[in-house]
Amino acid sequence: MKQFFLLLTFLAVVFSAGCYHGTRPPHIGDAARDFSVQDSDRKVSLNQFRGQVLVLNFWATWCPPCVEELPSLMSMQERTRARGVVVLGISIDVDDNAYHRFLQERNVNFLTVRDPDQKVASMYGTSGWPETYVIDRQGKLRRKFVGPVDWNSPDVVHFLNEL
């Protein structure tokens, strides 16, 4: 009986290790997956941000947690732009007019592009919004955030400054 429980415990540990979805998923430290996306306004690709810290934020105008996060994300972008930290918002909005109206009404101060087919989000395994990846100056994934983040918190500011 004792061997049975030991086996169950061992199997639970092995299988739970593959289910980790925290802020340090298994691909952290690997090269970020290259992408290119074009909407009606612009085309962006990962390689154009080489040499900068990229905060890759997946969001939508209809997403309350995304709207909640927006002021601190914009504030962080304003403070860190001169140090080479760039926010790129990839919106999954389907409605082009709603997307543009949202950007204008809220005076969004960072680069955004619309990916209504969610090609880049799928490539990165994004399943909830907002979801953010921090990519270092060499193009490596350094952190993943799921849900709204206070981009002005001391821990986040320290982390970005270290990159």
Could you tell me if residue 11 is inside a domain? no
73 within 8 A of 151, measured Cβ to Cβ: yes
In a domain, residue 16? The reply is no
Find the CATH number of the domain harbouring 66. Answer: 3.40.30.10
Please check the confidence at residue 12 and state whether its pLDDT lies above 60: no
| Position 19 in a domain | no
Where residue 29 falls among pLDDT bands split at 50, 70, 90? confident
Q: How far is CA 78 from the centre of its chain?
A: 18
In a domain, 9, yes or no: no
| 135 assigned to some structural domain | yes
Q: At 25, which helix (H) or strand (E)? A: none
- How is residue 82 written in tokens? 């001169």
Domain coverage including residue 157: 24-162
CA dist 55 and 133 (Å) reads 6
> What is the amino acid identity at position 159?
F
> Looking at the 3D structure of the chain, how many domains does it have?
1
DSSP 124: T
The owner of tokens 């939508």 is 60
Asked whether residue 99 is domain-assigned, the answer is: yes
Using an 8 Å Cβ cutoff, are 92 and 129 in contact?
yes
Q: Is residue 4, in this structure, part of any structural domain at all? A: no
Residues contacting 65, CB < 8 A, separation 6+: 129, 130, 147, 148
Indicate whether 101 belongs to any domain.
yes
pLDDT tier at 9, thresholds 50, 70, 90? very low
Question: According to the model, what pLDDT value does residue 17 have?
Answer: 31
Q: Each residue of 40-64: pLDDT tens digit?
A: 889 999 999 999 999 999 999 999 9
DSSP SS3 for 90? strand
pLDDT above 70: percentage of residues in the chain: 84
